[in-house]
């Protein structure tokens, strides 16, 4: 058998200089079949098992497992020598020499950290997001990693959920587009090329809809909503060639995703023809029992394998029980073969049989500064200016003699990196406080007071000093928000106000009467209602990553104009959740004249009805900041929206265009957004859906025509029969700088029959 492996290797070396013929699908299928034919059942089950290798350097138990062919993949080893040693044992000392997939959570950067994914989504910049993933891949491969567990593309409409930080927000279209960009960045144009790593679209599916935003909780999602919302980004990722998918931890409509045959077989394999690898989440096969779906690990292995989970991440349900299940005839050998073929296919696609080892010196090097430049650009474009009264921003270093920099997140190099930064190099982090010093420190007296030990602090002893310094300075920049530990996996919150005494700090600083600018660093949308009126300007910077400081400083001092746009709606109150721009109209839609406020109810005059529309008595129906919102230092005017045709037929494309003018004084980027509404359909459709976006740069006074092509397929949705269709009828379309744009036109799809 060793000979067979060597033969493969020889063949590879001979053909290495030719344009990678090994990568053509037929060759890969042939090699998969040949290899499968040589494998014992134990070796097959070995491929289906991923082991945590975070402890020690090729520990004995793992080395033995590799020699015996009991391990198909390892997770959490990042020492290149250790990875090479594990690969060496797998390739040289196991019977068939099958190389390992080496997995790691490279979520938003490896050493150099980009903004959290939600922040990257706020850039609305496909190329930049792709480049961020590319940089992450190029850094990760130097450690021997060939598989990342990203992108996380769970549609998330609940800011309480800590993992909204890892998501690309609430919109199907924005998530689809950026998911595809991330997959392209990680995987490159050929998975087998040095510098590419396999991406993993996760968590399949519906995880973002956990009840009350509590991580791991139940999800109940009608099939039509699953198909129209939650599954769509996964389909986009599959179509874009994502190599792997990960199942969700959660229960979906009564069947946990890891044992969900409907999702994993019917949708993913039968309808979408996905031939990549499906991995469970960490220990999620064993957890089928904890969910109450199975009695024991053996039954959990049965359910997961039957549903179509190819590989078990960190667990031993498969390794302990699959063989027995096959012997009992409950699991067929052909279904095991299918799973193993999916795994081997991924390994062949990655070129691991040809190049199992990592020699960092032979990898494409990241050009000097490329990683940091990408991180800075991404941070710059991710920051959303939520408010800017009276042109408070940008600050002028010429006009200020002093500025107070106050708050627990002004100089917190680790916290600004955000969640999931296992390998992030905190030493590279440049904080806003340092960046402001470097940018204007020679001209402006920068006075820093931390004021609070951390964002949750209830100790206000240092507030007096902060107030004194703020009162004595020309302006105050408050760095508030939440530390990285407050978002991410298992870090959900029920109250999404600024934690601790931060609101009180804002109130005290406000009393100085000096301009107050708040810069919020956070892993989720926060309810900012209690502080928004207390500040003159507000930047929302998410967790901006390694280069967050310089990006924020450049924006504060007008080196560049803010251009980020919200990828998720900001509620006024937590009780409005889920609040998102693409809601349905309802039969009783609210409007400003059809709502009442709880404080205005006159209980002396008996009333039985108040507006009778879909609103909250205390919060109304609008968000604090809408999806797509984001201000600039310039002003953009939109006009003359028009369709290229007022009637189109099925299969046609209509072009929607509008004129955009930079009517202000500075050059700036604008993210132009296209929304559409299907007015009447056989199932109710959202009041607006994002259908296109473009980031454009305009000089002062410049006018451009921005055009979007809309094919009738782009307006398709799943109907009552769960089939995708576009229905004829009238469509409204809007172009503008946020989901609240009123610049509208319309067209019809006419049925030719
Ligand atoms: C659990 C998380 O849900 C998943 O996203 C992650 O990739 C794995 N752990 C591995 O760390």
* Ligand 1 centroid – CA 738 distance (Å): 33
Cβ–ligand 1 contact at 353 (below 6 Å): no
In CATH terms, the superfamily for domain 13-362 is Glycoside hydrolase, family 3, N-terminal domain (3.20.20.300)
Instruction: Give the C-alpha separation, 156 to 627, whole Å.
Output: 13
Cβ–ligand 1 contact at 420 (below 6 Å): no
Q: How confident is the model at residue 683 (pLDDT cuts 50, 70, 90)?
A: very high
Report which ligand 1 atom has the smallest distance to the Cα of 149: 7
Can you tell me whether residue 675 is helix, strand or coil?
A: strand
**Atom 11 of ligand 1: nearest residue by CA position:** 105
Mutate to test the pocket of ligand 1, among 105, 208, 280 (most ligand atoms within 8 A of CB): 105
Instruction: Give the C-alpha separation, 750 to 713, whole Å.
Output: 14
Mutate to test the pocket of ligand 1, among 246, 423, 488, 491 (most ligand atoms within 8 A of CB): 246
What is the pairing mode between strands 445-449 and 402-406?
parallel
* Strand order through the sheet with 653-662: 636-643, 653-662, 703-711
Instruction: Give the C-alpha separation, 74 to 504, whole Å.
Output: 48
In CATH terms, the superfamily for domain 636-749 is Immunoglobulins (2.60.40.10)
* Ligand 1 centroid – CA 383 distance (Å): 27
Cβ–ligand 1 contact at 489 (below 6 Å): yes
Cβ–ligand 1 contact at 104 (below 6 Å): no
Report which ligand 1 atom has the smallest distance to the Cα of 152: 5
pLDDT tens, residue by residue, 229-251: 999 999 999 999 999 999 999 99
Cβ–ligand 1 contact at 282 (below 6 Å): yes
Give the containing element (helix H, strand E) for 86.
Answer: helix 80-88
Q: How confident is the model at residue 753 (pLDDT cuts 50, 70, 90)?
A: low
* Ligand 1 centroid – CA 153 distance (Å): 13
Token output for 580: 């998102």
Report which ligand 1 atom has the smallest distance to the Cα of 203: 5
Instruction: Give the C-alpha separation, 516 to 509, whole Å.
Output: 8
753 is a catalytic site residue: no
CATH class of 383-556: alpha beta
Instruction: Give the C-alpha separation, 133 to 107, whole Å.
Output: 8
**Atom 10 of ligand 1: nearest residue by CA position:** 282
Cβ–ligand 1 contact at 215 (below 6 Å): no
* Ligand 1 centroid – CA 282 distance (Å): 6
* Ligand 1 centroid – CA 318 distance (Å): 18
Topology alike, domains 13-362 and 636-749? no
Indicate if the pLDDT at residue 42 is higher than 80: yes
DSSP states along 607-670: -S-S--SS-BTTTBSS-SB-TT--B-SS-EEEEEEEES-SEE-TT-EEEEEEEEEE-SSS-EEE
Instruction: Give the C-alpha separation, 118 to 108, whole Å.
Output: 10
**Atom 3 of ligand 1: nearest residue by CA position:** 281
Indicate if the pLDDT at residue 201 is higher than 50: yes
pLDDT tens, residue by residue, 558-598: 999 999 999 999 999 999 999 999 999 999 999 999 999 99
Q: How buried is residue 348: exposed, middle or buried, by Cβ count under 10 Å (0-12/13-18/19+)?
A: buried
pLDDT tens, residue by residue, 322-357: 999 999 999 999 999 999 999 999 999 999 999 999
**Better pLDDT: 58 or 542:** 542
Start-to-end CA span in the chain (Å): 63
* Ligand 1 centroid – CA 204 distance (Å): 12
Alpha-carbon distances, residue 532 vs 154, 405, 510, 538, 702 (angstroms): 29, 18, 11, 8, 32
* Ligand 1 centroid – CA 488 distance (Å): 11
Cβ–ligand 1 contact at 202 (below 6 Å): yes
Indicate if the pLDDT at residue 10 is higher than 70: no
Indicate if the pLDDT at residue 677 is higher than 50: yes
The pLDDT score that the predictor gives to residue 12 is 33
Report which ligand 1 atom has the smallest distance to the Cα of 249: 3
Smallest CA-to-CA distance from 186 within 105, 84, 264 is with 105
Indicate if the pLDDT at residue 364 is higher than 90: no
Instruction: Give the C-alpha separation, 492 to 482, whole Å.
Output: 12
Cβ–ligand 1 contact at 149 (below 6 Å): yes
- For the beta carbon of residue 368, count every other beta carbon within 10 angstroms: 8
Q: How confident is the model at residue 367 (pLDDT cuts 50, 70, 90)?
A: low
* Model confidence, pTM: 0.96
Instruction: Kindly state the percentage of the chain with pLDDT values over 70.
Output: 97
Instruction: Give the C-alpha separation, 445 to 442, whole Å.
Output: 8
pLDDT tens, residue by residue, 395-409: 999 999 999 999 999
The pLDDT score that the predictor gives to residue 611 is 87
* Ligand 1 centroid – CA 687 distance (Å): 35
* Ligand 1 centroid – CA 327 distance (Å): 32
Cβ–ligand 1 contact at 281 (below 6 Å): yes
Report which ligand 1 atom has the smallest distance to the Cα of 103: 10
* Strand order through the sheet with 384-388: 384-388, 537-540, 516-521, 475-481, 402-406, 445-449
What is the pairing mode between strands 384-388 and 537-540?
antiparallel
Provide the residue ranges of all domains of the chain, joining segments of one domain with +.
Answer: 13-362, 383-556, 589-622, 636-749
The pLDDT score that the predictor gives to residue 19 is 54
Mutate to test the pocket of ligand 1, among 152, 279, 281 (most ligand atoms within 8 A of CB): 281
The pLDDT score that the predictor gives to residue 18 is 47
Instruction: Give the C-alpha separation, 471 to 465, whole Å.
Output: 10
pLDDT tens, residue by residue, 209-235: 999 999 999 999 999 999 999 999 999
Cβ–ligand 1 contact at 286 (below 6 Å): no
Indicate if the pLDDT at residue 17 is higher than 70: no
Query: Which residue among the candidates 105, 251, 281, 337 is catalytic per the annotation?
Result: 281
**Atom 7 of ligand 1: nearest residue by CA position:** 149
DSSP states along 160-200: TSGGGGGS--S-HHHHHHHHHHHHHHHHTT-TTSTT--B-E
Mutate to test the pocket of ligand 1, among 205, 282, 420 (most ligand atoms within 8 A of CB): 282
DSSP 328: T
Cβ–ligand 1 contact at 501 (below 6 Å): no
Mutate to test the pocket of ligand 1, among 76, 103, 104, 149 (most ligand atoms within 8 A of CB): 149
Report which ligand 1 atom has the smallest distance to the Cα of 166: 5
Token output for 748: 């019809």
The dihedral built from the CA positions of residue 51, 53, 56 and 62, taken in this order, carries a sign that is: positive
**Atom 9 of ligand 1: nearest residue by CA position:** 282
Instruction: Give the C-alpha separation, 264 to 280, whole Å.
Output: 11
Mean pLDDT computed over 662-670: 98
């Amino acid at each position: 058998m060793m000979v067979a492996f060597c033969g493969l290797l020889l063949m590879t070396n001979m053909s290495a200089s030719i344009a990678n013929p090994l990568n053509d699908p037929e060759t890969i299928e042939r090699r998969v079949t040949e290899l499968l034919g040589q494998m014992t059942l134990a070796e097959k089950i070995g491929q289906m098992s991923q082991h945590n290798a975070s402890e020690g350097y090729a520990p004995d138990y793992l080395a033995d497992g590799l020699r015996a062919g009991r391990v198909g993949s390892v997770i959490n080893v990042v020492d290149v020598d250790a990875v090479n040693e594990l690969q060496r044992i797998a390739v040289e000392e196991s019977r068939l020499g099958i190389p390992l997939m080496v997995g790691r959570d490279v979520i938003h950067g490896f050493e150099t950290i980009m903004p959290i994914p939600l922040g990257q989504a706020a850039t609305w910049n496909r190329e930049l997001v792709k480049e961020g993933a590319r940089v992450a891949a190029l850094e990760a491969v130097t450690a021997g990693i060939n598989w990342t567990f990203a992108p996380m593309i769970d549609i998330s409409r609940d800011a309480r959920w800590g993992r909204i930080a890892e998501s690309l927000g609430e919109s199907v279209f924005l998530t689809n587009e950026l998911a595809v960009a991330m997959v392209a960045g990680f995987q490159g144009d050929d998975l087998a090329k040095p510098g590419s790593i396999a991406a993993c679209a996760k968590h399949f599916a519906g995880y973002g809809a956990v009840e009350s935003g509590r991580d791991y909780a139940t999800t109940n999602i009608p099939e039509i909503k699953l198909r129209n919302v939650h599954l769509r980004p996964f389909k986009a990722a599959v179509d874009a060639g994502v190599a792997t998918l990960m199942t969700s931890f959660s229960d979906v409509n009564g069947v946990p995703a890891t044992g969900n045959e409907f999702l994993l077989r019917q949708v993913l394999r039968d309808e979408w023809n996905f031939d990549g690898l499906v991995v469970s989440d960490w220990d999620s096969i064993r957890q089928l029992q904890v969910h109450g779906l199975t009695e024991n690990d053996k039954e959990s292995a049965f359910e997961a394998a039957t549903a179509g989970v190819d590989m078990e991440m960190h667990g031993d349900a498969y390794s302990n029980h699959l063989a027995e299940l096959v012997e009992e005839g409950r699991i067929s050998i052909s279904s095991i073969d299918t799973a193993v073929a999916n795994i081997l296919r991924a390994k062949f696609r990655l070129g691991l049989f040809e190049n199992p080892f990592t020699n960092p010196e032979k990898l494409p090097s990241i050009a000097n500064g490329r990683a940091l430049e990408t991180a800075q650009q991404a941070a710059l474009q991710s920051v959303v200016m939520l408010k800017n009264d009276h042109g408070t921003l940008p600050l002028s270093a010429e006009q200020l003699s002093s500025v107070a920099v106050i708050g627990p997140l002004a100089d917190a190099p680790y916290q600004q990196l955000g969640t999931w930064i296992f390998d992030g190099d905190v030493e590279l982090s440049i904080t806003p406080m340092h960046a402001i010093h470097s940018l204007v420190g020679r001209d402006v007296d920068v006075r820093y007071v931390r004021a609070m030990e951390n964002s949750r602090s209830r100790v206000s002893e240092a507030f007096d000093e902060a107030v004194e310094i703020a009162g004595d300075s020309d302006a105050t920049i408050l760095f508030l928000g939440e530390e990285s530990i407050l978002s991410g996996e298992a870090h959900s919150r029920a109250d999404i106000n600024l934690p601790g005494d931060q609101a009180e700090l804002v109130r005290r600083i406000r009393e100085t009467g000096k301009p107050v600018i708040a810069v919020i660093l956070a892993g989720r949308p926060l309810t900012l209602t209690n502080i928004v009126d207390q500040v003159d300007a507000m930047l929302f910077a998410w967790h901006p990553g390694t280069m967050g400081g310089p990006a924020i400083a450049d924006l504060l001092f007008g080196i560049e104009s803010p251009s980020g746009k919200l990828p998720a709606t900001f509620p006024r109150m937590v009780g409005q959740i889920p609040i998102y721009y693409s809601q349905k109209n309802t039969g009783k839609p609210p409007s400003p004249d059809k709502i009442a406020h709880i404080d205005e109810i006159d209980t002396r005059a008996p009333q039985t009805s108040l507006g009778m529309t879909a609103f909250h008595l205390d919060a109304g129906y609008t968000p604090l900041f809408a999806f797509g919102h984001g201000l600039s230092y310039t002003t953009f005017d939109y006009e003359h929206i028009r369709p290229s045709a007022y009637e189109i037929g099925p299969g046609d494309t209509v072009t929607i265009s509008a004129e955009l003018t930079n009517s202000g004084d500075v050059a700036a980027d604008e993210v132009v957004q296209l929304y559409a509404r299907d007015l009447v359909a056989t199932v109710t459709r959202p009041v607006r859906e994002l259908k296109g976006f473009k980031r454009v740069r305009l000089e002062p006074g410049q006018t451009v025509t921005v055009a979007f092509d809309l094919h009738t397929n782009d307006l398709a949705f799943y109907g009552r029969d769960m089939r995708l269709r576009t229905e004829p009828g009238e469509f409204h379309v809007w172009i503008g700088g946020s989901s609240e744009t009123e610049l509208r036109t319309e067209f019809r799809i006419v049925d030719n029959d």
